[in-house]
Amino acid sequence: MWKCTAAANNCISTCCPLNKPNYQQQNEAVGKAAFFDSKAPALDHIRGLGPKRREALSQQGITSLYDLLDCLPRGYLNARQPQPISTLRTGEACVEGQVVSAPSLQYYAGRSIVRARVRDASGSLSLAWFNQPWMARQVKAGSTLILYGLVQRRGEALTLTNPKMLKERGIIPQYRPLPGLPGKVFAGFITQALALVDPAEAETLPHSFRQWHGLLGRAQAWLQAHQPEDMDQLAAAQRRLGFENLLLYQLAIRLAGPADQAGPRITVAGSFAQEFWGQLPFSPTGAQRDTLNRVLQDLRGPQAMRRLVQGDVGSGKTAVAFGAALAAIRGDYQCALMAPTELLARQHYSSATQLLAPFGITCGLLLGGLRAAQRREALDSIQSGAWQLIIGTHALISKDVVYHKLGLAITDEQHRFGVRQRQTLAERGDDLTPHLLALSATPIPRSLALVLYGDLRVSVMDEMPPGRTPVRTRVVPPQRRDDLYQYIREKAQQGEQSYLVCPLVEDSGDAQEEKTSALSLYRQLRDGPLKGIGMALTWGSQEEAEKNKALEDFYAGRAQVLVSTTVVEVGMDVPNATTMVVEDAEYFGLAQLHQLRGRVGRGSKESWCFLLGEPNERLNILTQTNDGFVIAQKDLELRGPGEFLGTRQHGRALGGFGITDVRLLEETASCLEELLNQPSQRPLYDYLARLARERYADALEQTGLH
């Protein structure tokens, strides 16, 4: 479908389908860089770029002018129009006012607070800077300031918290801090790069294609994205850059895992599903039944299955995966199940040995940290086929693992893996491509699934096993923190357990950060409100032995309270835990909060989830629904797709491309469909495929979703 949803100021007359261009004749209009394989210009002409800074950029994958320009601001402060103080509400705002009197500096529990007050014609407002004692010197009584910050309600009055002082009004780009490069220096590099870039050289999309989709030229888009004249120009720039990158990213994913490969044809008896479900301790939900049937149908077919099963936390995806595994094994193939954490792999291993015991299959566990002899033994069992079901972590895709006859590759919590990892596991068959089944508990809207999982067919499990009591959720303002800890204390005394999740492991040392760290919260609670209660502490990179001890203490009920980072997001299954507290909930995505909430409500007792933070529209969504899909859709609308897509290592990968409009996802997906299906578009398709491979070679190694 060809539809122009371009911003109005951008919409060109080619929206009429009659004017649809023929791309066969358009090599002329694409930049030389693209067609003649000449490299993107190097950073040589940037002044002030010594070896150290060059290294800092290169660490971020920035080695050319174009890479640099692709580092879009992570956000913009819209400080064109300061708001009158009397009209302020909570949320981000820009104000312009005169400082009433000299600021005060106080210390409180080891933290500094600088307070001041500004006034404009409509009223006055208090200002507070935490952990920035130097602000006491910078803020001068009587001076007029343009300030941008977060308006919060503290008691009765409003306070502007940690405001930035701006030099002038305007749309101010905010760059992600890069290690070793002060923000100001980086902004200076960008300005130079904008001046150095040659628009004709840099162009990647044919002129007529751009016209057709209402897209700015690449260089102009860079200019408006880094130094926007107004919000419309900014939107047009984001559209252009987002369009190109989403299109190429989808293309790269499809190229990484091509459909229509011949797969092992597995014979599955007609009575298989009934027999399988009959042996489990519960009867399946309708969704589980349907999904397994779809999967079995795929396994019987001549092509390798490529299927993603999406189902909310607790919807029972594991049983479906085991059903598929058993079918493959009965058909004389091996099955590998890969989980993102050791914790989860172990858990799957123990459920597999229980649930699949009646069927008499052999199952083994392969983890990263095995001793050499153990590892050798495991590898032998895999190679000889002695293990039929192999469960493990990333260890499953390491080079020395040779499968006997891999027929089915399953990845659990797919959103924690990169496209390439999933693909690598699926390439471990010998001559035939094994079937691939990916499971994901992070429900994502269809539009996003098109991009992230464009190479997979999606099944949705939208039904929960019966007998679950939905978790109740409240947003708790930080002032009521003590009441909350008191509640946890009482619960612990009644024998119920609680999770406390923090955004950081340790205090970051960054003055701007007010985020709570697991370490400091643990110490503070242990010596204060939760004194005498059994507590455990864990985080992702904790030493394996310590981590296991902490988790075992919590599983066994020796610890009543588990303080952690988001490592507990997947795999923890402690039915006795009835309270989930998320500190600084504002810093998390809604989907992630929902996932964390799924850790409680697993037993018969009523469970609660408390989100510490100022109540706002976003957090309130979680109090209103337990439906992961609804939450994901709202989150997508509120945060914009760019925040969902991206890679951890390189700040500039997809997430940095200013993809702010949800409609862009669908638009680029249908554009790609069109390119694929129309023979006349072949030259353009081939050219874009080359670009896609180049640009996203490393992005595919990384996790796609945040």
Nearer to ligand ADP, 240 or 317 (CB): 317
The least distance separating ligand ADP from the CB of residue 408, rounded to whole angstroms, comes to: 17
SS3 breakdown of the chain: % helix, strand, coil, rounded to 5?
45, 20, 35
Please state whether 509 falls in left (phi above 0), alpha (psi between -120 and 50) or beta.
left
Interface with ligand ADP includes 491 (CB under 6 A)?
no
Of the candidates 62, 27, 19, 20, the one whose C-alpha atom is nearest the C-alpha of residue 205 is 27
Q: Which is nearer to ligand ADP, 465 or 557 (CB)?
A: 465
Sheet arrangement for strand 472-476? 472-476, 608-612, 577-582, 497-501, 561-564, 535-538
The interface region with ligand ADP, picked from 54-62, 278-286, 392-400, 423-431 by CB under 6 A, is 278-286
Backbone φ and ψ of 8, nearest 5°: -55, -40
Name the one range near ligand ADP by CB under 6 A: 102-110, 132-140, 141-149, 316-324: 316-324
Among positions 208, 238, 315, 423, the unique one binding ligand ADP when judged by CB under 6 A: 315
Interacting positions 440-479 with ligand ADP (CB under 6 A): 441, 465
Sign for the pseudo-dihedral over CA of 427, 428, 432, 435: negative
Please give the Cα distance from 245 to 70 (Å, whole number): 10
Dihedral, 220, 222, 227, 231 alpha carbons, nearest 10: 80
Question: What minimum distance in Å lies between the beta carbon of 283 and ligand ADP?
Answer: 6
Angle among Cα 414, 418, 420 to the nearest 5 degrees reads 115
CB of 251 or CB of 574, closer to ligand ADP = 574
Size of the site for ligand ADP (CB under 6 A): 14
Q: How far is the CB of 521 from ligand ADP (least distance, A)?
A: 27
Minimum separation from the CB atom of position 324 to ligand ADP (A): 13
Q: Compare residues 41 and 598 and give the one whose CB is closer to ligand ADP.
A: 598
We find the least distance from the C-beta atom of residue 456 to ligand ADP, in angstroms, to be 17
CB 602 within 8 A of CB 576: no
Q: Write b or e for each residue in 486-506: b if 16 or more Cβ atoms lie within 10 A of its Cβ, otherwise e.
A: ebbbebbeeebbbbbbbbbbe
For ligand ADP, what does the binding mask look like between residues 283 and 302, x meaning CB under 6 A? -xx--x--------------
Q: In terms of CB distance, is 85 or 292 closer to ligand ADP?
A: 292
Asked if 311 interacts with ligand ADP (CB under 6 A), we say: yes
Distances in Å between the Cα of 150 and the Cα atoms of 104, 153, 161 are 20, 10, 5
Closer Cβ to ligand ADP, 134 or 282, answer by number: 282
Q: How far is the CB of 319 from ligand ADP (least distance, A)?
A: 5
Piece of 281-289, 422-430, 541-549, 652-660 that binds ligand ADP (CB under 6 A) = 281-289
Dist. CA 566–CA 197, nearest whole Å: 42
- Packed helices 617-624 and 590-597: angle between N→C axes, nearest 10 degrees: 30
Of the candidate spans 137-145, 306-314, 450-458, 581-589, the one that interacts with ligand ADP by CB under 6 A turns out to be 306-314
Q: Looking at 198-206, 312-320, 472-480, 691-699, which segment touches ligand ADP (CB under 6 A)? A: 312-320
- Residue listed under structure tokens 């066969």: 24
Closer CB to ligand ADP, residue 570 or residue 669? 570
Mark 78-117 with x for binding to ligand ADP (rule: CB under 6 A) and - for no binding. ----------------------------------------
CA distances from 95 to 159, 166, 172 (A): 12, 10, 14
Stretch that binds ligand ADP, among 160-168, 317-325, 333-341, 514-522 (CB under 6 A): 317-325
Of 285 and 517, the one with the shorter C-beta distance to ligand ADP is: 285
631 CB contacts (<8 Å, ≥6 apart)? Answer: 443, 590, 591, 594, 621, 622, 625
**Is 646 a residue that touches ligand ADP (CB under 6 A)?**
no
Binders of ligand ADP among residues 534 to 563 (CB under 6 A) are none
C-beta closer to ligand ADP: residue 2 or 555:
555
Q: Which of 94, 319, 450, 684 binds ligand ADP (CB under 6 A)?
A: 319
Q: Which is nearer to ligand ADP, 313 or 367 (CB)?
A: 313
State the Cα torsion 135-141-146-152 to the nearest 10°: 70
The nearer residue to ligand ADP, 318 or 670, going by C-beta atoms, is 318
- List beta partners, residue 96: 146
Residue 154 β-bridge partners: 157
Exposed, middle or buried: residue 604 (CB in 10 Å: 0-12, 13-18, 19+)? Answer: exposed
What are the residue ranges of helices labelled H in 435-497?
446-452, 481-493
Query: Minimum CB separation from ligand ADP for residue 447, in Å?
Result: 23
353 binds ligand ADP (CB under 6 A): no
Q: How far is the CB of 469 from ligand ADP (least distance, A)?
A: 14
Tell me which of 282, 358, 376, 638 binds ligand ADP, using CB under 6 A.
282
- Shortest Å distance, C-beta 570 to ligand ADP: 9
634 binding ligand ADP? (CB under 6 A): no
Q: How far apart are CA 123 and CA 98, in angstroms?
A: 11
Q: Name the residue with tokens 């923090």.
A: 502
- Residue with CB nearest ligand ADP? 316
| Closest distance to ligand ADP from the beta carbon of 555 (Å) | 14
Of the candidate spans 104-112, 125-133, 250-258, 277-285, the one that interacts with ligand ADP by CB under 6 A turns out to be 277-285
The binder of ligand ADP chosen from 64, 303, 318, 623 (CB under 6 A):
318
Is 139 one of the binding residues for ligand ADP (CB under 6 A)?
no
In angstroms, the CA 628 to CA 596 distance is 12
Angle between helices 419-426 and 231-256 (to 10 degrees): 10
604 binds ligand ADP (CB under 6 A): no
Least distance (Å) between residue 278 CB and ligand ADP = 13
313 counts as binding ligand ADP under rule CB under 6 A: yes
Region of 70-78, 233-241, 279-287, 661-669 interacting with ligand ADP (CB under 6 A): 279-287
Q: Shortest gap between Cβ of 518 and ligand ADP (angstroms)? A: 24
Where b means 16+ CB within 10 Å and e means fewer, 377-404 reads ebbebbeeeebbbbbbbbbbbeeebebb
Cβ within 8 Å of residue 364, ≥6 positions away: 378, 381, 382, 386, 387, 389, 390, 391
Instruction: Look at residues 148, 86, 157, 151 and name the one whose alpha carbon lies nearest to residue 123.
Output: 86
Produce one character per residue of 406-419: b if its CB has 16 or more CB atoms within 10 Å, e if not: bbbbbbbbbbbbbb
- Provide φ and ψ at 437, rounded to 5°: -125, 120
Q: Can you tell me the distance from the alpha carbon of 29 to that of 173, in angstroms, rounded to the nearest whole number? A: 31
The nearest distance, CB 31 to ligand ADP, in angstroms, is: 47
CB nearer ligand ADP, residue 82 or residue 311: 311
User: Measuring CA to CA, how many Å separate 516 from each of 52, 377, 398, 509, 548?
Assistant: 32, 44, 37, 12, 23
Tell me how far, at minimum, the Cβ of 482 lies from ligand ADP, in Å.
Answer: 34
- Cβ proximity to ligand ADP: between 159 and 285 the closer is 285
Residue from 316, 323, 331, 454 that binds ligand ADP (CB under 6 A)? 316
Q: To the nearest whole angstrom, how small is the minimum distance from the Cβ of residue 467 to ligand ADP?
A: 7
* Interacting residues toward ligand ADP by CB under 6 A: 282, 284-285, 288, 311, 313-319, 441, 465
